[in-house]
Chain A
């Protein structure tokens, strides 16, 4: 796999299935292919509803379709988890905090193995 993922792989999945942008637009209930084209050119990010519909069309998970976006969000969440972990470790951890810390550790140490 390449070092940095593309924001999305919609074009790859569409071409693999032999669908045109018009076909995808039709499946999404739209009149023309301008919006799918914008997604493929990375100039727009679809809504959650559209992303899930695309997942249904291409028979692939959302994080596979939007691998780059997922990677970006994952590292952002990991950074925030590190900050939250630092905030919790300064206090005296009770049972609930210990559980939160364990979760945060999992988030921080997790590598992207799903894509």
Chain B
């Protein structure tokens, strides 16, 4: 007798940075389909949005996960970009979920990860494909590594997988 398989949805998580955005595509908490950083010139939001649209059209995800910038210290440009990505996702018919950084930290605390670096390690343990891209430990005077955006996006996607969404597209505006 064959049992019906669970049917989770394909998730695209995006984390914008000053030089583009990091993204991951998950089919389950352990199945990574794609990951990377899309680079755009600073202040080239149209190009960044075009690249997001390209990802959406290619992978046809059911859900997009973004950072909830309310109360965060992200710069105004990133906040605007996140809103634009959300609107783009809505026009493409995707369900949009937002998580605040505090929620991500709360989820990863259960894995014993408190700092951003520890969260990246926890993500690499969960998704071993990302282990080679794990950034070295950042000292106070060092700038953040380019590939860290992938781990931020993966943390967002895993937060979605492990928790009930707190904010959906219907409540944002």
Residues of chain A within 8 A of B27, CB atoms compared: 1-2
Tell which of A2, A15, A41 touches B35, judged by Cβ atoms closer than 8 Å: A15
Residues of chain A within 8 A of B51, CB atoms compared: none
Contact A111 B34 (CB under 8 A): no
Is there a chain B Cβ closer than 8 Å to A3's Cβ?
A: yes
Is there a chain A Cβ closer than 8 Å to B2's Cβ?
A: yes
Contact A6 B59 (CB under 8 A): yes
- Bound complex: CA A2 to CA B129 (Å): 19
Within 8 A of A (CB), among B47-75: 58-60, 62
Q: In the complex, which residue of chain A has the Cβ closest to the Cβ of B28?
A: A1
Within 8 A of B (CB), among A24-79: 41-42
Q: Can you name 18 extra interface pairs (CB under 8 A) apart from A4-B60, A12-B34, A42-B58? A: A1-B6, A1-B27, A1-B31, A2-B7, A2-B9, A2-B10, A2-B27, A2-B62, A3-B7, A3-B9, A6-B33, A6-B59, A9-B33, A11-B34, A16-B129, A41-B58, A111-B5, A113-B2
- How many interface residues does chain A have, given as a range? 10 to 19
Q: In the complex, which residue of chain B has the Cβ closest to the Cβ of A109?
A: B2
- Hey, which bits of chain B sit against chain A, CB under 8 A? 2, 5-10, 27-28, 31-35, 58-60, 62, 129, 132
- Name B's interface SS: mixed
Residues of chain A within 8 A of B31, CB atoms compared: 1
- Name A's interface SS: loop
Pairs A-B, 9 closest by C-beta atoms? A2-B10, A2-B27, A16-B129, A111-B2, A12-B33, A3-B7, A1-B27, A2-B9, A11-B34
Residues of chain B within 8 A of A16, CB atoms compared: 129
Q: In the complex, which residue of chain B has the Cβ closest to the Cβ of A17?
A: B129
Contact B7 A15 (CB under 8 A): no
Residues of chain A within 8 A of B60, CB atoms compared: 4, 6
Residues of chain B within 8 A of A3, CB atoms compared: 7, 9-10, 62
Residues of chain B within 8 A of A15, CB atoms compared: 34-35, 129
